[in-house]
Amino acid sequence: TVPDRIRNFCIIAHIDHGKSTLADRMLQLTEVVDARQMRAQYLDRMDIERERGITIKSQAVRMPWVVREGDLTGEQFVLNMIDTPGHVDFTYEVSRSLAACEGAVLLVDAAQGIEAQTLANLYLALENDMTIIPVLNKIDLPAAQPEKYAEELAHLIGCDPDDCLRVSGKTGAGVSHLLDEIVRQLPTPQPGNDGAARAMIFDSVYDVYRGVVTYVRVVDGRLGARDRIKMMSTGAVHELLEIGVISPEPIKSDGLGAGEVGYLITGVKDVRQSRVGDTVTINARPATEALGGYKDPKPMVYSGLYPIDGSDYPLLRDALDKLKLNDAALVYEPETSLALGFGFRCGFLGLLHLEIIQERLEREFNLDLISTAPNVVYRVITTDGTEVAVTNPSEFPDGKTGEIFEPTVRATVLTPNDFVGAVMELCQGRRGVLLGMDYLSADRVELRYTLPLGEIIYDFFDQLKSRTKGYASLDYEPSGEQASDLVKVDILLHGEPVDAFSSIVHKDKAYNYGVTIAGKLQKLIPRQQFEVPIQAAIGSRIIARETIRAIRKDVLAKCYGGDISRKRKLLEKQKEGKKRMKMVGRVEVPQEAFIAALSTS
């Protein structure tokens, strides 16, 4: 297809504003998927995505479209719809998907208005110089207020309220008009000056049968089916086994030209060999310069993952090896914990990424896991001048720390007017620095903060929701690092440090952390035949203390507060006579007590 017949677009939206549903209608209208094959959220292929209603991996679909109204009526175009992952952890993937398109449909729920993710994605789209088509969705809802939110949208992107299209992904109203407008408003792909082939990888997915499937947008030149290709970041050369387009199933072709979007299969077995953001060129006539914007995925959050049943350790290792094939951002290495036994220290892009991996391990590999409290990566300059990246509190160079840097994020919070005070209080309590505040309309406010990542990976989102009756929304992106006054708090049981509870916290919060954990363990650990002190300490300085009295008594019954199913699971394990005791010095502690302390914290 010649470039001026191609339009590449993505849909950006806050979660639940109807992106997948609208995509479904487009697939139907363009007859790429017929009504019989149609199931809701056709593009969300992974089970977890379908259940949680979120899109994790992006996909690209080619849709033929014959314009139905106006000046171009009857003319045939090719629309490539690139589905972007919807969550903050995947900002980089989102930015690459956007970079593969000329334009974006900015979809806003007409009953909700603009939300934090709408803004964050819009900012990314604007950074990529994309054409934005503002669209209000769900106009079939009785609660829809298209007039009000058209004003809001128009104000935000600087257009006329009448330019905001109105659709319903549910009924299909307005969708054909939207497809026409995509053809009309979006620029045609412009090949660059360099004639040599260059294609940008915006996604790469491991498939059990076919190996890695790489999704690309060809920017310059042409990739032919017989070419040997070269990855420009590593110089690795691969045979092309297959090239084609997805519509909605893969269709082989003899090549992809400038402006086109499609897939490559090279027989590589690991997505790390085919990285998002990298540039593909032809080995025989390589481009001299890669396309801009490539970044190595960098884990932002670390956590220890341990099998509840220690004999599952080899299974966990195999499962991680498998998941890694499909996840260039997942890193892990073996780790042992006094409290939890053998496990892995794993690095993730963020909390959702952690949750997804843990859930996949439990679901697809049938593992029962416990994860330690997540922590961010600290950069510590020691007093002798060396630099250490601390991914585990136990590696913190106690007593030898000079400057300590922690990662920060730029957060966007959107809230109704009434809750501005509550949101500010929360952000200040988390060491946030207010960057700016804007009224989107008379009653809705955008707050921008710099916050330490370590302060929001925990329960920030839950707190935000509960303090704003669920109305506020949050999005954030990495924004560098800052020097901070951080300390490591250790928890000692009868004088022995318990590694899984060591944590790096701000100096002003150390006391609180110590008191909370010591209190929790005091309730969870059964009494021994002797008195057991539980202490929280910074280096050798004790900052909190609890005591387990010396009476022998089984307190398992009151051990586990919150999670009924976990509690039942643990009790069943015990019935099987598998109760595992850990010795911490002289103290006998059921592993379950550690697990309960970690999982309810």
Q: 339, 303, 337: which is closest to 591 by C-alpha?
A: 339
* Closest residue to ligand GDP, based on beta-carbon distance: 18
Ramachandran class of 298: left when φ > 0, alpha when ψ lies in -120 to 50, beta otherwise = beta
Q: Which helix (H) or strand (E) holds 593?
A: helix 591-599
Tokens of 407: 């990662």
Is 490 labelled a binding residue?
no
Nearest to Mg ion of 55, 408 (CB atom): 55
Shortest separation between residue 53's beta carbon and Mg ion, angstroms: 6
CA distance 326 to 275: 11
What, of Mg ion, ligand GDP, none, does residue 18 touch, CB below 5 to 8 Å by kind? ligand GDP
Ranges of H-type helices in 102-221: 116-127, 146-157, 175-185
Q: With DSSP H G I counted as helix, E B as strand and the rest as coil, what are the percentages for the chain, rounded to 5?
A: 30, 35, 35
Q: Does residue 170 touch ligand GDP according to CB under 6 A?
A: yes
Is 495 labelled a binding residue?
no
Tallying the residues shown for the chain, one arrives at: 601
For Mg ion, the binding residues (CB under 5 A) are 20, 55
Shortest separation between residue 54's beta carbon and ligand GDP, angstroms: 6
Evaluate the CA torsion angle 260, 266, 269, 272 in order and state its sign: negative
From the centroid of its chain, how far is CA 127?
20
Query: Which listed range, 18-26, 189-197, 256-264, 541-549, lies at the site for ligand GDP (CB under 6 A)?
Result: 18-26
The DSSP secondary-structure symbol of 550 reads: S
Nearest to ligand GDP of 110, 291 (CB atom): 110
Shortest separation between residue 12's beta carbon and ligand GDP, angstroms: 10
Q: Is 383 helix (H, G, I), strand (E, B) or coil?
A: coil
Nearest to ligand GDP of 294, 471 (CB atom): 471
* Closest residue to Mg ion, based on beta-carbon distance: 20
Nearest to Mg ion of 108, 556 (CB atom): 108
For the segment 30-49, give every residue that binds ligand GDP (CB under 6 A). 41
Of 6, 13, 79, 256, which one interacts with ligand GDP (CB under 6 A)?
13
Of 7, 17, 353, 582, which one interacts with ligand GDP (CB under 6 A)?
17
For the segment 174-203, give every residue that binds ligand GDP (CB under 6 A). none
CA distance 170 to 510: 51
Shortest separation between residue 143's beta carbon and ligand GDP, angstroms: 9
Query: Which listed range, 162-170, 183-191, 358-366, 535-543, lies at the site for ligand GDP (CB under 6 A)?
Result: 162-170
Of 103, 134, 169, 374, which one interacts with ligand GDP (CB under 6 A)?
169
Residue bearing tokens 């199913």: 565
Question: 125-144 mask for ligand GDP (x: CB under 6 A)?
Answer: ------------xx-xx---
Burial 92-115 (b: 16+ CB within 10 A, else e): bbbbbbbbbbbbbbbbbbbbbbbb
Q: 217, 170, 172, 213: which is closest to 190 by C-alpha?
A: 217
Q: Is 82 helix (H, G, I), strand (E, B) or coil?
A: strand
Is 18 labelled a binding residue?
yes
Query: Contact residues for ligand GDP (CB under 6 A)?
Result: 13, 15-21, 41, 53, 137-138, 140-141, 168-170
**Sequence ranges of the binding site for GTP:** 16-21, 137-140
